[in-house]
Structures are given as structure tokens and as C-alpha cells.
Amino acid sequence: MIYFSMGYWIIALALIVSTAGAAVGLACIRQSTRSVTARFRFVWLFVAAASIGGVGVSMPVFVSMLGVEAEGSQIRYDETLTTVFSAASGITVMLALIIVGRTQNWVRLGLGALVMGAGIGSMELLILSAVHVQGTVQLNPLSIAAVYAIALLLSAALLWFSLRVNSTVVLMGGAMLYALVVTGMHYTGLLGLSFHIDAAASAPTGADLFTFFVPFFIIGSLALAIPITAILVAPDRRESQLASASSRSGEKPGNGGVSMPEPWSLAHTPESVR
């Protein structure tokens, strides 16, 4: 099996994509802690889950699989399993973020890590199980067990980190580390994937990877562009809301917001002006 048929730049692209998704997702989680309503908090968490799970995990896996080839056979992917794979990590990250909440609680953190880790590990298992070749495909159970262990540790670290990070520099460092672990986890799974090509077997069924990659890449790009814009606009909205609240607090009750002259000013007004 060939892992880098398109060149080693595949790894660099996977790391960049994963770092961007994790960074935007962590920034959205930080914004959610500042939300004053449950509705806006849910929106921030939803976008964070799409960025961390969808762009931060699923997309770099897609990118990495572009370089995978089998000698003597085409590679096709099961449509159902690949579609479920595309959504699995985002959904489980969302559930984990809701479970963890705003404050650090070790019980909730552990439960959230289990949910997120199971989702990310299952996502990797789904994409590897979706591979079809002209022959048979085998998965090494030890490799899959290692994937789940890495996913669990990664999830626990990310959820804990999301509750404590305040600095943008630290956030970017955490996002880069997240991308390294995600990419390492995926290649750990790939090491347990083996092909046994049989020229007498029928051609593999399923769809080409680009059938899924192109629409997923477009959706993933939007999943990054929208929250980035929202994060940039959010401070201005908060400042305008504070300014509006400050102006309203300066109005005196009972006069409809119209300023009335103080009594002493009338006393010192010249008679001609009165």
C-alpha cells in the first residue's frame, strides 16, 4: 500500500487544515462563554463542533486518504459509511461540549471525553471500513485499539484545554498540537490497514474519494469562514450593546428621556431671559 502517492505535501495540508479547524473551534468555545443567552451559546457551540470535529478531524483524514493507493487495484469507498463518517465526529464533539458545560467539573469532563473519544475513534474506523479494493481489506485490531486510545486522550485534553485557554498565542499552540495528534492517530489506523489484491476478483464497488471530498471541502471552508467573520464582528456588537446600555442608564426616569434643567439653573437665569 502506498501512503503518499501524491507527495509528502499531503501531510502539510492535513496539518494546516486541522490546525485551522481546531483554532476556530476553540475561539468559538471562548466566545460561547461570553454569551448572555442560551440560544447564542448553543449557536457558538454548534459552530465550534463543526470546526473541531468536521474541519479539524474529518477533513484532514479526507486529505490524507487522497495519497493512499493500492498497487494493482483502484480504491473505492462505501457511500453510506463515508457519509456517516463525515458527520460522526462533529455530532459527538457537539454532545461532548454540551456535557462539559462552561465550568470545569471532572465528572462531566470525563463523560464528555468518553463521548467525543468514542465518536472520533469510530469515525476513523468508519473511513477505514469504507475502503474497497479488488480483493480483500483487513484491519489490525491492535491498530484500531490504539486509535481509540489516542482519540480518548485527545478528547480529554481538548475539552480541558477549551475551559482554560485565554491567550490567543496559547490557543494557536494548542490547535497545532491537536492537529499533530489527529494526523498521527489517522496514520496509526492506516498502519493497520492491509490490502490483499486478487486479479480474479471483481472490480471494487463504491464511489471515488473526490466524489465526497469536493463538496465536503466546500462545506468545510464555509464552516470556517462564517465563524471567523462572526468572531471578528462579535466585539463590535458587544461594544455597541454596552454603549446603548450606558446611554439608557444615563436617562432620568419619568421624563421620557428628555433632559430637564436643574432648579438652581432657573434661579440664576437673568430676568430678561425668563
pLDDT of residue 254: 46
What cell was used for 240? 455597541
| Nearest CA-CA partner of 175 in 5, 15, 1 | 15
pLDDT of residue 231: 66
pTM exceeds 0.85, yes or no = no
| Nearest CA-CA partner of 22 in 133, 137, 181 | 181
**What's the pLDDT tens digit per position in 49-82?**
989 998 899 899 989 998 898 888 889 999 888 8
Mean pLDDT, residues 249-253: 49
Count other C-beta atoms under 10 Å from residue 45's C-beta.
22
d(CA 116, CA 153): 10
Least confident span in 40-44, 109-113, 159-163, 243-247: 243-247
What cell was used for 119? 465518536
d(CA 148, CA 213): 24
Helix and strand totals (H; E) in the chain = 9, 4
Place of cell 486479479: 199
Q: Where do the structural domains in the chain lie, given as residue ranges?
A: 9-229
pLDDT at 218 over 90: no
